[in-house]
Chains A and B, each alone.
Chain A
Amino acid sequence: MSGIGTGYDLSATTYSPDGKVFQTDYAQKAVDNSRVTSVGAQRSREAVEKLVVSKLLVERSSRRIHNIDRHAGICMAGLLPDGRMVVNRAADEATNYKSFYGEPIPGRVLCERLASYMHLFNLYWSMRPYGAAGLLATYDDDGPALYLVEPSGVAHGYFGTAVGKARQAVKNELEKMKLGQITCREAVVEAAKILHKVHEEDGKPFEIEISWVCDESGRVHQKVPAEVLAEAEAAAKAALEESDMED
């Protein structure tokens, strides 16, 4: 307890004098610092993401995009095990909703329920907020939607957003795009381009995972077909080289 403002971060039930809950902030930092950048773009229905892996890991393992139900999927950034807890909860909520109401859970409801669940962990001294945030992609009767659920329990719907280390750079790129007007396929290419671009500087090995829920996928959340992903990656690399030439 040296200076003023220390000692207030030991539990999520304590405010600091200027009104912050440090545990919640730390959880958000765990997400922000994660070596994963997740992009999601609404209308185009896809959550995208990249990850840095050990060379000793089997390719395409340790995935960050998960199916929740046939019409919903989530991309988790931050601590992987925390993320899996959230994914499992989301799946339970989806199953439960379906068995109770007889229809697939609407994206809005799923988002709300996940946000409440995440928020719970900000309320008790004995618990730690999840160090994970989820980009939720859904397709229901109201059409496709993208949500971001954060460790604090905050959740919003987005046209496009990003989380993780390079989120700001990605968001800048997203803002330049006409998100409402491009097709899903185009969006996959754009997303791959953005991820390759923001990853260019550090030069570390990475993998890209892309999934979509759109009319083209039959309103089913699934990994983008291998050839579409390969095409997108090729286009992204080509675009990068082109911009290098210009420099």
Chain B
Amino acid sequence: MLAADTLGAYGSTKRYKSLERIVRVNARTLVGAGGEVSDFQYIVRLLDELTTDDYRTDDGIELGPKEIFSYLTRVMYNRRGKMDPLWNSLVVGGVEADGTPFLGTVGMIGTHYEDSHVATGFGAHLARPLFRERQSDAMSEADAEALLRDALRVCYYRDKQSINKFQIAKVAADAPAAVGEPFALETSWDYKAFAAPTKWAIGAW
């Protein structure tokens, strides 16, 4: 399961508010991105050419998430080698042909790893601590979605540059990859800490 907000920012201007940052690559693979939008669009184009070529071959074999992940690591590293990196952090999620789930992330210079939970940008600071506490590979889909929503809420509360419009995309062994409709989260701004943010902060005034 992948989640992202739908913001395309121009510096601190919230320039595009309905930008889909998770794409379905094929029935078994999803790719999400943070960073430079134009570079992401270029990556989407590469992936489209890759999957069209895969379709053309018509051998009954479809690229899996692992292969697409590996491809992206090479693209990103190749560009950093040219001192002209694609300014993105990517998340690849999906299910292999044999049903094993896959989740990995690629940084803008080609650094990459796989894990049970990953996050890019602010999410790496704000959401991953929550994941570490509550995520388990055996958790149910509903629990996972609740956790993602909580993580998004924390990101939205703590990051003034973000917006309250998100998408969740899912892929499972028995359900082909699909990106969900955008939605807003319930938020509450009347916490005491929000009203007087410095009251309990030592050293602040």
A29-87 interface (Cβ within 8 A of B): 63, 66-70
Size of interface on A: residues with Cβ below 8 Å to B: 12
B52 and A223 form a contact (CB under 8 A): no
Please measure, in the bound complex, the distance between the C-alpha atom of A66 and the C-alpha atom of B45, giving whole angstroms.
23
Q: Which of B45, B53, B56, B58 contacts A99 (CB 8 A)?
A: B45
Q: How far is the CB of A125 from chain B (nearest CB, A)?
A: 34
Q: How far is the CB of A66 from chain B (nearest CB, A)?
A: 7
Is B113 part of the binding interface, using a Cβ–Cβ cutoff of 8 Å? Answer: no
A67 and B45 form a contact (CB under 8 A): no
Is A91 part of the binding interface, using a Cβ–Cβ cutoff of 8 Å? Answer: yes
Please measure, in the bound complex, the distance between the C-alpha atom of A98 and the C-alpha atom of B52, giving whole angstroms.
11
Is A13 part of the binding interface, using a Cβ–Cβ cutoff of 8 Å? Answer: no
B67-89: contact bitstring with A at CB < 8 Å (1 yes, 0 no)? Answer: 00000000000000000000000
Chain B contact residues: helix, strand, loop or mixed: helix
Contacts of A66 in B (CB 8 A): 56, 58
B49 and A69 form a contact (CB under 8 A): no
Is B194 part of the binding interface, using a Cβ–Cβ cutoff of 8 Å? Answer: no
Residue of B nearest to A69 (CB): B52
Please measure, in the bound complex, the distance between the C-alpha atom of A66 and the C-alpha atom of B57, giving whole angstroms.
8
A73-118 interface (Cβ within 8 A of B): 91, 95, 98-99
Contacts of A63 in B (CB 8 A): 58
Q: Which of A67, A68, A95, A223 contacts B49 (CB 8 A)?
A: A95
- Given A95-B49, A99-B45, A99-B49: A68 touches B58 (CB 8 Å cut-off): no
A69 and B58 form a contact (CB under 8 A): no
Contacts of A99 in B (CB 8 A): 45, 49
Size of interface on B: residues with Cβ below 8 Å to A: 8
Is B16 part of the binding interface, using a Cβ–Cβ cutoff of 8 Å? Answer: no
Please measure, in the bound complex, the distance between the C-alpha atom of A69 and the C-alpha atom of B53, giving whole angstroms.
8
Contacts of B53 in A (CB 8 A): 91, 95
Contacts of A95 in B (CB 8 A): 49, 52-53
Q: How far is the CB of B152 from chain A (nearest CB, A)?
A: 32
Q: How far is the CB of A105 from chain B (nearest CB, A)?
A: 12
A70 and B52 form a contact (CB under 8 A): yes
Contacts of A223 in B (CB 8 A): 58
B41-52: contact bitstring with A at CB < 8 Å (1 yes, 0 no)? Answer: 000010001001
Contacts of B56 in A (CB 8 A): 66-69, 91
Contacts of A91 in B (CB 8 A): 53, 56
Q: How far is the CB of A106 from chain B (nearest CB, A)?
A: 16
Q: How far is the CB of A26 from chain B (nearest CB, A)?
A: 31
Contacts of B55 in A (CB 8 A): 67, 70
Q: How far is the CB of B70 from chain A (nearest CB, A)?
A: 21
B20-66 interface (Cβ within 8 A of A): 45, 49, 52-53, 55-58
Contacts of A98 in B (CB 8 A): 49, 52
Please measure, in the bound complex, the distance between the C-alpha atom of A69 and the C-alpha atom of B56, giving whole angstroms.
6
A192-224 interface (Cβ within 8 A of B): 222-223
Residue of A nearest to B48 (CB): A98
Contacts of A67 in B (CB 8 A): 55-58
Contacts of B57 in A (CB 8 A): 67
Q: How far is the CB of A49 from chain B (nearest CB, A)?
A: 15
Q: How far is the CB of B179 from chain A (nearest CB, A)?
A: 19
Residue of A nearest to B58 (CB): A67
Please measure, in the bound complex, the distance between the C-alpha atom of A68 and the C-alpha atom of B52, giving whole angstroms.
9
Q: How far is the CB of A137 from chain B (nearest CB, A)?
A: 14
Please measure, in the bound complex, the distance between the C-alpha atom of A91 and the C-alpha atom of B53, giving whole angstroms.
9
Additional 4 contacts, C-beta under 8 A, given A91-B53, A99-B49 = A70-B52, A70-B55, A95-B52, A99-B45
In the A-B complex, list the 5 residue pairs whose CB atoms are closest, starting with the nearest: A67-B56, A67-B58, A91-B56, A95-B49, A70-B55
The 23 sampled A-B contact pairs (Cβ below 8 Å) are A63-B58, A66-B56, A66-B58, A67-B55, A67-B56, A67-B57, A67-B58, A68-B56, A69-B52, A69-B56, A70-B52, A70-B55, A91-B53, A91-B56, A95-B49, A95-B52, A95-B53, A98-B49, A98-B52, A99-B45, A99-B49, A222-B58, A223-B58
